Structures are given as structure tokens and as C-alpha cells.
Structure 1
Amino acid sequence: MGFSKLKIPRVCEQCSKPFEAKTVMTRFCTLSCNNKALKEKKKLEKEKVEKDTLLQKYKNKIAEVQNREFISVAEATVMFGLSKDTVHRYIKRGIITGTNLGSRLTRVKRSDLENLFSAVEMPEEEEIIIEKPNFEVGNCYTISEISSKFYADPGTVTNLIKRNKIPTKKVGSFVYVPKNLIDKIFDGK
């Protein structure tokens, strides 16, 4: 393949540095970046092959473990993603059933572990009905009225309104707040 006189701006796929490529097919800035990328590719392929062979090797054992009622602590850690200490702690607390058959021969009931990870039904919360604010003349307080009625500092009242996200309406220099919402807060409801 011939070289062109064009300089094609590219970014190296290995080191992410910009460089000028001489061909359209160039992916790496230097030979060392090319070699590093090749080594990484081979390493990933090797790991994938090892993983597949390991899975094929233990496929029957995995199927056997999934059919047994009692499994070892090590098998439980692999199957359920728990640490050995957690499994032993659950046995001591009585959360799961465990049987000690001798030194390092603790067996746990698989169904107990499966029940730990079953779906938990959450009680449905009641829908909160949000009242629309009523900003009519007789149904609102001003900040100064609230502070004089409930003996609170105007800054405290303002912070309370912001914290509870109470809607306000500003008319001129007055800020109006619905009476029903303020009364609920100061009544402790």
C-alpha cells in the first residue's frame, strides 16, 4: 500500500495522543503503542478462553450444587455473593439454618439463603393530597402577621416557609402565605 503526501490527523487508540497518520488505516502513533494494544488484545482473548474452559469444567458441579439442599459455606459465598463472615454471622443469629459436621464442615440450608434474597413487599403508602393554596384576601397571612400571632422572628418564619416549601404570593412589598398551611405547621401537624 502506498503512502500519500496527506497528513491525516488522528488520535492514538492506545495512548490517546494526537498524531499525523500517513495512511487511512493507521490506528497507533508508534510501533510500541501497536505492540501494547496487541498484547492487551491477546491477554483479553486468553482470559476469555480460560473463563470459558473453567465454566465448562465446573458446569456439572454448579448444576449439582444448585440441586442440593445443604451446601458448604464456600459454595454459599460463590452462589449468593456473600462473604464467609456474613454467612457465619447469619448462622449465629439464627437467620439461616447451619449444621456443623466437623472442623470446617459447616453446611447451610440453601432455601434459607434463597429466602433472604426473595422480593420484599413494601406496603403501599397513602396518597398525600396536596391542597391548592388559597390566596384570597381573608385566607392569607403576611409574614409580620405570622410573627406577631405565633411570637416568632420574621427571619425564622421565612426560613420555616422555605423549609416546608409553602407557596407564597408577593404583592407589592407584602408576602402572603395561606392560613391553613401555616396553622398546620404551628399546630404541629
Structure 2
Amino acid sequence: MATSNFRIKKICEWCGKEFKAQKVSTRFCSHRCANFAYKRAIRKKRVQTTETQTQVQKTERIIEDIKEKEYLSFSETGRLLGLSRQAIYTMVKAGHLKASKISSRLSFIRRTDIDAMLQNKPYQYRMPKDTIPITDFYTTNEIKEKFGVKDSWIFHIAKEHNIPRTFNRGKTYWSKKHIDDYFAKKAPDPEIKEWYSTQDMQEKFGMTLTAIYSFVSKNAIPKKKVGIMVYYSKKHVDIAKGLIAPEEPKYYTIAEAMERFNLTRDQLYHYVKYHNIPRIKVGKYTKILRVELDKFFEPPKIE
């Protein structure tokens, strides 16, 4: 088999000399250096194994000595139970384990108290919560008629959101509760009263369908679907087009409040919590009432 004429300059990991290798994985310049490195690795592994065994023997000896003691310190109790000292303090504070405080710096735990704690608290298997049986179902046709969606859409959303289903005599039945919950989340804001259809936007703004879809996606325009028709919030479209001035938002996001008042996140949460400033939860985001936060941070008036 022909060898490659390709040569790579490398540094030997054993002797440090420069050499030319045929493969990028070559580490040593010669068989001699490779042998030396291999023997060093073997010695290092043996040393590590011996040190580990020694440490295990020392630990076992310490535990054996602890087992013979009647009174143990918190650290010794932790070693005996395989816990940290802080965990032992927590158990004593919670009343799970008895301890005797001799002085301000000296406390002991009796071995019999440890045994009593373990005997009085046997392991109990925690049974899983009983799941609520699903008794109400939609058929596929009922979902299509009620929400105006297609078969393929139903199966896609059910798979994406793990909506329970069952089969009976060739028909698919979907959990009514899960379907209703999904559409409730997708329901349009009830405060939005006026809507544009795509045809309205084409006529008023002279936009193509592609331009409309790009525009509403970029500006996060609220929408609703009625049958096969899609409608977009007239108010939000007009604001995005600059036809009307946007309303001042009622709430600060956390980032906006931090930037406006030059606060850290911890400081902001502290003020909101201890001064009962109203806040709401929108999905995973927290929003703070703008009026109340502005009022709290406004400078005092001198009359």
C-alpha cells in the first residue's frame, strides 16, 4: 500500500523535539519516546490507584472508630451518615435528630439518638397522585364544526401539545377539556372590537398577501380566525402604520423598570414586594403597574 508524501510538523510530547509526522494523530517522534510515555502513564495510573485505596482505607478506619464512640460531633455524625455537617445541623434544627449543647462551641449527638431517628422514620413509598379520568370527548367532526379547523391541523396540534385521545369503532375522540383549554389560550383579546380582513388591508394599504403576512408577523399584530378567514386587529395595524399614536403601556416589563430607574433585579423585586406595588403575570413574564411604580419613585414635593 502506497504511503502519503504529506508531512506535518509536530512536537514530540516526550522529548520536545520537532519532527515530521504522516498523521495528525501522531504524538511521539519515535517508538522509544512512545514507550517511555506509555510506561509513565502506567506508573501514574498505579500511583493513583494506590492513593485511592489508601484514602478508602483511611476513611473506613475513621468510620470504624466513629462507630465505637457513644457521643459524636456534628462532623463525625455527617461522616457516619454520609452527609455534610450543614445537613446534620438542619436535621437537628428541624427536630429530626436530638443533640446536646455543652457550650457555645461544643455540641454532641448520642449514637443511640441516631439509631432512634432511623428506627422511628422508616421509608415510606410515596404513591403517585391519582389522575383525573377523562370522561368528556369531542369527535373530530365536532372540533372541525366548532372551531373551524381542518383534520390535518387537529392531528398536528394534538401531537404537538400531547392532547389525549382514544379510539372507538374506527372514530377518534379527543379530550374536551384539553381542546377547550388550547382554544381558550388562542382566543383573541376581548377588548379588540375592530378587525381588518386581508382583503381590507389589500384595498386600504395596497399590500400583497406576502407583504401582509410579513408585516403582521414582524409587528406581532393580534389576529383571530373565523372559519377560513383570518382577521387582524385594526388598532394594532393602524399603530404599526403610523396612522394613530400608540397608547402608553400600562405596565413596565422587568427590563424596562430596571433601565428607567437604574435598579438591579434584586432591588426592583424588593421594592415591589415590600411596598405592595401591583404586578401581573403574563405567561412567564412579570409586569409591574406603571402608574404605581412611577408614583413610588417620584421625588418628594416641597410645598
TM-score in terms of structure 1 length: 0.49
With CA pairs under 8 Å and 6+ residues apart, which has the higher RCO, 1 or 2? 1
TM-score in terms of structure 2 length: 0.35
